[in-house]
A and B are shown apart, each in its own frame.
Chain A
Amino acid sequence: MNMDKYLDVINACRFCFMCRHLATLAAVTGKEADTARGHALIADRIRMDKTELANADYIRTIYQADLSGSCRKHCVSSYDEIGLKLALRQDFVEAGLAPAAVSALAKEFTDVQFKVSGNGDMLYYPHPCIEAHQPEIAQAFLSVVPNVKVIDGGDCGKVLKLLGFAKESQAVAARFQAAVKASGCKTVVVSNPAAYDFLKSDGAMDGITVLHSSEVLLNSNLGSAAKLGKLTFINSDFLRNYQECNAPMDLLAKLGCEVERFGTNGEDSYACGEGSMPGIRLFPELTRKMVAHVADMAKRFKVETIVTPSPFVKHALTTYAPELKVLAIEEVAAAVKL
C-alpha cells in the first residue's frame, strides 16, 4: 500500500498532540478526527486491519482533510502528515473505494488539453483554481507583464493528485509538459500556488524554471501602493507551508504597502482549505465554516482589505463572505503599475 511508505509518520503522529492548534479544519469543526493525530490513528487502524480501508467514515475523514501543511511545517521533526493523507487517498482510489463524488470530480479533470497562444519568452499559466473563472487575475498580471505566451486549458494535474488519482495526474502532467516544451519557453509563470507547488514537485519539468507571478512582479516596474490604504495579507498554504516562497510578502514590502499579517500569529492557516482545493466542490459546508472563521476574525480585527497570492483564497472568501474586500496580489500590482 502507498501508506506503508509513511510508517514513520503514523508512529510519530498517532499519539502526538503537539500541532493540534494548527489543525485548520479542526479549528472550525472541533473534531478530533480532523487533526494530524486523528488521521494517523485512522491510518494505523487500516495498517493493522486492511478491511478497515473500506470504512466509509475513515474514507470521508481523509478526503475532508484540509492539507494546509501548517502541522508539517511547524513540527520540529517535519513529519510528512500531508504525504500520509495523499497516500491514503491513493490507496482508496487504487482499491476502487473512492467515493462516487470524488471519482466524478476526477473524471472532470482528466480530459484536459492544453493550448498555447501569444508571444514572448515566458509562458504564463493563469489557470486560477478548482472551479472559479477569475479572469481579473490574469488580466491584472498581463497588464503589468504583457509580452508573454499564455498556456491554458485546465488544471495541470494537481487536482487529480489531491484526489488520489496519481496515474491520471501524471498523464495530465505529461500533456502539460508536452505543451510547455512545444512552446519553446524555458520559464513558466503561474498565478495559482497549487499549480506552482505541483510544477515544482510531482510535475517538475527538466530544464524549465517555474515562478510564481509575485516573483516576476517583484522585478517589474511598479510604483508605490501606499495609496491603496491598509492591506491585510492572507498567505497561500502552498507558497508558505509547501514551498517556502516569500515573494508575495517581498513584493508588498517593495511596493511600500501598509501590510499587516492576517490573524493573531504566523503559523495558522487562514487559506480556507486551499491545500485540499477540490474540497470546495466535495464538502462546501466545510469551506463555508473555514471562511466564516476568517470572516469573524476580519470583523473582530477591523480588517479593511485582504490581499492574497492565492486565487483559491479569493474565490472562497468572495463566495462565502461577499462582504469582505479581497484583492489578488496581481491586482495590487496592476493598480500601481507605472
Chain B
Amino acid sequence: MLPQRESYSYEMIRSELTWVVGDDHVQTDCSEKLAHSIDYYWVPEVWHDRGLKPQVPTFVVHPASAEEVSKILQIANTYKIPVTPWGGGSGSQGGALPMYGGISLDTKRLNKVLEIDPVSMTVTAETGIIMQQLEWEVEKAGYSTMHYPASIGCATLGGFIAHRGTGVLSTKYGKIEDMIMSMEVVTPTGEIIKTLPVPRHASGPDLTQMFCGSEGTLGVVTKATMKIHPIPAARKFHAFLFEDMHGAMVAGAKLMTSRLQPCVIRLYDNAETAKLIKRVLGIERNGSYLVFGFDGEEAIVDLQMKKAVEICKETAIEDLGTDMGQAWWDHRYKFFYPPYMFQLPQAFGTLDTVATFANIENVYWGMKNAVKEQFPQATFIGHFSHWYDWGCMLYARFIIDNPPQDAAEAIALYNRIWDVAIRAAIKNGGVINEHHGVGLKLGRIMKDLYGPAFNVLEGIKKTLDPNNIMNPGKMGFQGV
C-alpha cells in the first residue's frame, strides 16, 4: 500500500528522500506531478484530453549522482515502493509512466559531460543529459556522436539506452547499442556497478548489452561511454521516385546487399509520399519517395553515390535529384513538430517493426491488410527508415481521425488495432519493435514474442530486483 499524501508514512519517506537529494529536488507539487503523468504515449494523452484524473507519482526525485540514485533505491526497497525512471519522458510506449505511483526518478540532473577522449574517440557522460546538449558539447570539441534521432532535443542519453533508440544515420553509425562502449549502472538493490570498458570481448556474456533496452526494469544507467566520430568532410543526398513501394524496396535492399555504406536510406510508401512528403517537403508526386545519403571523405562519398544512383536508375520512374534529397535532410525533424505530426483528436500509433529483406514486404502487407480489413476507419501508412545488411525497419502507422470520445472506448479500439497489427507482423516474421521499446504498450506481447525465452528475462529481473521496485508492470514483467 503506497503512502497517502496526508499520512505520517508519506512524510517519513519524503524526509528520507530529501536527506539524500535536498529539499529542492524532491517534488510533490501539482505542476511537476502532472508533467510526469504523461509521456509521448497516446493513451495518457487521450486520458488527459478527456479531462480524467491523471495517474501521478507520489514523489518526483531528481538525483545528481549515482550515489544518490543508490540511496533512493535503498529507501524504495526498505518501503517497497515502485521507482519509475524518467529521462526526457518522450518515450512513445508508456515506459516512463508512474502507473503505480511511487517515485518518479527524474535523471535530468545527471547531465554532465565527464570526458572527451580524442585518442580513442569516445565521450563519457552522465545519462540524464539531453542528447542535443551532448551532441553540441561533442561538436564544440570537433566531433559528433552521429546520433540524430527526431527526439534529439527531448530525449536523454539514458532514455536512448533504456529502449535501444536509433537516429537517422543509423544505417552507417548504428543504433545506440552499437554506439555504446560501457556503462555505469545502479542496480535495483543499490549497488553501483560498471560494465567492461570495451564492447568487444570474450569474457562471458555482455552486461552492457543486457542493460541496453531494459527500460529501467533492471536498474538505472547513470553513466555511459559512447563512440564519437570526426565531422565528415562531405555529406550528400539523392532522391528518387518509384512507382510503388516494392520497386523502391528492391532498390533499397540492393544498396545494402551490394555492401555500399549509406549513412541513411528512407523509403516512404505511396500513402506517406502523398501525405507527408507533400506536406513537409512540398514534393507532390504519385509513387514511393526514396532518399539516401553518404558521408565521409568526399571522393569516397562521390564514388558510392555514383554506384547508388546507378542502382536506383534501373527501376525508378523519376530521378528527383540532389535538391529533393537535401530537402529531406534539412527538414528531417520537421515531420515530428505540430502540426506536421499527428495529434489529438486523431488516434495514432507507430508500429515500428524490423524484419529481413525476405520478410519485410510481407510484414508490411500483413499489417496493412489486417488493419484495413478489421478497422476500415483506420488509415495505414508507413516508411522504412533504418537499414541493415540483412533487412530494415518498417515505421508503420495507423491513424483514426475521429476516435470515440469516451476514453475507455477509444483506448479499447486503440489496443485492438495494436493487437491485430502486431500479431500480423509477428506471423510474417517481424519483430516488434526496432527502436521505441516495449514499455506499457507492448508488455502483453513479450511472452508471445519470446516464447519460453521470456522465462530467462523474468529470471534475470527477479534476481536483480527481488522486491520488484524497478518500473513494475513494464516490458511484460510483473506489476505491483
Could you list which residues of chain A lie within 8 angstroms of chain B, going by C-beta atoms?
Answer: 11-22, 26-27, 29-33, 35, 37-38, 41-42, 44-45, 48-49, 55, 57-58, 60-61, 75-77, 79, 264-265, 301
Contact = CB atoms under 8 A, between A and B. Distances in A.
Contacts of B86: 32
Given A41-B34, A60-B31, A264-B133, 4 more contacts: A17-B89, A20-B154, A21-B130, A301-B140
B51 interface: yes
A79 B29 CA distance: 27
Contacts of B343: 11-12, 15
A265 B36 contact: no
A19 B153 contact: yes
A21 B109 CA distance: 13
B344 interface: yes
Contacts of A79: 338
Nearest to B64: A30
A42 B34 contact: yes
A37 B40 CA distance: 11
Contacts of A61: 29, 31
Given A20-B154, A76-B337, A32 B40 contact: no
B38 A17 contact: no
A265 B109 CA distance: 20
A12 B339 contact: yes
Contacts of B341: 16
B132 interface: yes
A41 B338 contact: no
Contact of B154 (A12, A18, A30, A44): A18
Given A33-B35, A264-B140, A17 B90 contact: yes
Contacts of A32: 32, 35-36, 60, 86, 89, 106
B153 A15 contact: no
Contacts of B27: 31
B427 to A, nearest CB: 32
Contacts of A16: 337-338, 341
Contacts of B89: 17, 32
B365 interface: no
A19 B152 CA distance: 10
B35 A38 contact: yes
Given A17-B154, A30-B128, A44-B48, A75 B337 contact: yes
B137 interface: yes
Contacts of B108: 26, 30
A57 B153 contact: no
A233 B86 CA distance: 34
B88 A20 contact: yes
A41 B140 contact: no
Contact of B88 (A17, A33, A60, A265): A17
A32 B61 CA distance: 12
Given A35-B35, A41-B38, A264-B136, A17 B151 contact: yes
A267 to B, nearest CB: 9
Task: Please classify the interface of chain A as helix (H, G, I), strand (E, B), loop, or mixed, using the class held by over half of its residues.
Answer: helix
B62 interface: yes
A334 B132 CA distance: 38
A37 B90 CA distance: 11
19 contacts: A11-B338, A11-B344, A12-B339, A13-B338, A16-B341, A17-B155, A19-B153, A19-B154, A21-B131, A21-B152, A30-B25, A30-B108, A32-B35, A33-B31, A57-B29, A76-B340, A77-B339, A264-B139, A265-B136
Interface residues of B, number: 49
A27 B108 CA distance: 8
Interface string B286-323: 00000000000000000000000000000000000000
Nearest to B109: A30
A57 B137 contact: no
B244 to A, nearest CB: 30
A247 to B, nearest CB: 26
Which 5 A-B residue pairings sit nearest by Cβ, starting from the closest?
Answer: A32-B35, A17-B154, A33-B31, A264-B136, A30-B108
Which of the listed residues A22, A57, A60, A79 has the most CB atoms from chain B within 10 Å of its own CB?
Answer: A57
B337 A20 contact: no
B90 A12 contact: no
Nearest to B32: A33
Contacts of B128: 30
Contacts of A48: 51
B334 interface: yes
B35 A18 contact: no
A58 B338 CA distance: 24
A17 B32 contact: no
Interface in B146-201: 151-155
Contact of A15 (B38, B111, B130): B38
B153 A41 contact: no
A55 B88 contact: no
Contacts of B31: 31, 33, 38, 42, 57-58, 60-61
B139 A18 contact: no
Given A18-B336, A48-B51, A58 B30 contact: yes
Contacts of A49: 51
A20 B152 CA distance: 9
Contacts of A31: 27, 31-32, 35, 60, 62, 106
B79 interface: no
A79 B341 CA distance: 14
A35 B90 CA distance: 13
B85 to A, nearest CB: 13
Given A41-B48, A264-B139, A15 B344 contact: yes
A301 B336 CA distance: 33
B243 interface: no
B45 interface: yes
Contacts of A37: 35
A33 B131 CA distance: 19
B333 interface: yes
Contacts of A76: 333-334, 337, 340
Nearest to B132: A21
Contacts of A27: 111, 133
Nearest to A55: B30
